[in-house]
Amino acid sequence: MNGIKRRQFLSQLSLAAVGTAISSKLNASSFLISKPSLVEEFVETETSYGKIKGYRTEGVNIFKGIPYAGRTSGERRFRRPAKLQPWTGVREALTLGAPAIQAPRRNEPEPSEDCLFLNVWTPANDNKKRPVMFYNHGGGFVIGSGGSAGQDGANLARNFDVVVVETNHRLGLLGFLYLDEIAGPEYAGSGNMGLLDIIDGLKWVNKNIAQFGGDPNNVMIWGESGGGAKTSCLYAMPAAAPYFNKASIESGPGVRMMDKDTAHENTLQLFNELNIPVNNWQKILEVPASDLLNMQAKLPFVPPFQEKNKNQGTMRRNAGGFGPVVDGKALPNHPFDPGAPAISRNKPLLVGWNEDEYTFFAWERKDADSFKMDFEGLHKKLEPQYGPDTKKIIATYRQARPNATAPDIFVAISSITMMGLGSIDIAEKKARQNGAPVYLYNFGYKSENKIPGTDYAMGTPHAMDISFKFNNEVPPKNGEPTKPSFFGGNRPERFTASHNFAELWTTFARTGKPAAKNAPTWPAYNLKDRATMRIDTELEVINNRFKEEVEMWRSIGKTLN
């Protein structure tokens, strides 16, 4: 009973919910890539499909909207893309390509089923063999694109001499509808089309990135939120294995994905809602994409991970929603269950989360009440999820954090159960492999921005790390006034924290070991010291952080994610 309630609680905090929030709120902000404002010159380069033209600005060559695979509409819906046809002449790569089907995105083209485009930022097209940072965007499995300005790659390329690549790929129902059991062999892998699209992007990088000054033999995959879950899956997929060398999973630990039985139930539920008999399944190919999007919105979101039923050793069922499927083929196993994937044993890994993940959701939901409660109110708030364990949970947190208020403890509990325990689980399983190192982190720079309707600071909310690790929190140029960051606030100290984050990540991309000039040595995670790097204006290694809290979660049978 209590486990089910916890599961329902966590489902409400799913990455899909994150995606909805980012879509409706951040899209309306300055979080999007704007049109080129200062084009110094146009730049042409060859690809395996033909010549393209990008532009250079402030020391970075930028190419947007490059097609990396063919059509996914029409008879290619739910299937692998059509072969991309070469072009003659010079194709312009100056503006973003269409994002996947979703609600319209401000400053981006109209969403389209034909959405397989990518963007590249590079210091120069000079065959220099820079490390390649291949980013998987967030937004759960339902929204987002490689065109959000918080993840604009220009500063990383300019300031740290790397090449940044970001893709658009199929999402939601059109990217993850599991048809393997009712359609023909042409639809094999249908439950993972969105992931297989990303792999096509990695294949494009392998063939072409040398022309952009990148090293095809030194590719890092990374992603936040839903992008972290996608990265978790790619880390376990045989088709992806030849095309990347290291990975980072940020605030999106995808320990387990959806099993085939649940995915099939979701498919049957969809066909029932559409009044399409399963034996006439082809009719779904005729349904307009807009209608499918409307239907997708009526069905439950898929959670970012699937929690194991401790007593039965099976997955808890949660029909509804669309996300990656453990189909035994494209995704042979759960990414990190029962252990870290053997296929990536020799690939270094970064994994971690933000200290105050939950405040993002409070902001998105206009939840002011959670920040006005006392400890009696905290018990009442947690008891529906944790039942008789509630008293022990609160007591453990009050002992570990004697100066914490009731809202402080609520944020800490919500944040670690959402993203922290799964991140620790991944680090421990990777460490047990005795292969390539794994590094655990917490991002902790505190924003002074208040949650609306409260005097409570957001701290380090979910998604705030995006602009920091992309080094997009930088001082203004030419004496311009400092503009406040959407999440990061207005204090100039954020520029130092952003540089720290970006330097650690780009060094990891270059060498497989995160490091920075002003940082202590970051030890690989092991089961004795459990070293964690806390990222802020100062960088600090903390051994066995949250020891008391994690031991308590284990003692009450809370699986790590």
Q: Which residues are catalytic?
A: 225
Percentages helix, strand, coil for the chain (3-state, rounded to 5) are: 40, 20, 45
502: its two tokens: 């970006």
Burial (0-12, 13-18, 19+ Cβ within 10 Å), 224:
buried
Residues ≥6 apart with Cβ < 8 Å to 14: 140, 301, 302, 303, 304
As a whole number of angstroms, the distance between CA 291 and CA 63 comes to 33
Instruction: Determine the Cα–Cα distance for residues 136 and 278; give it in Å rounded to an integer.
Output: 34
β-pairing verdict for 41-47 and 50-57: antiparallel
β partners of residue 334: 337
Side-chain-side CA neighbours of residue 179 (13 Å): 26
**Structure tokens that stand for 453 in this block:** 């309707």
Amino acid letter, residue 273: E
CA–CA dist 126, 215 (Å, integer): 11
Q: Report how far residue 75's alpha carbon sits from residue 186's, in angstroms, rounded to the nearest whole number.
A: 11
Element (H or E) spanning 283, and its range?
Answer: none
Instruction: Please give the radius of gyration of the chain, using alpha carbons only, rounded to the nearest integer.
Output: 22
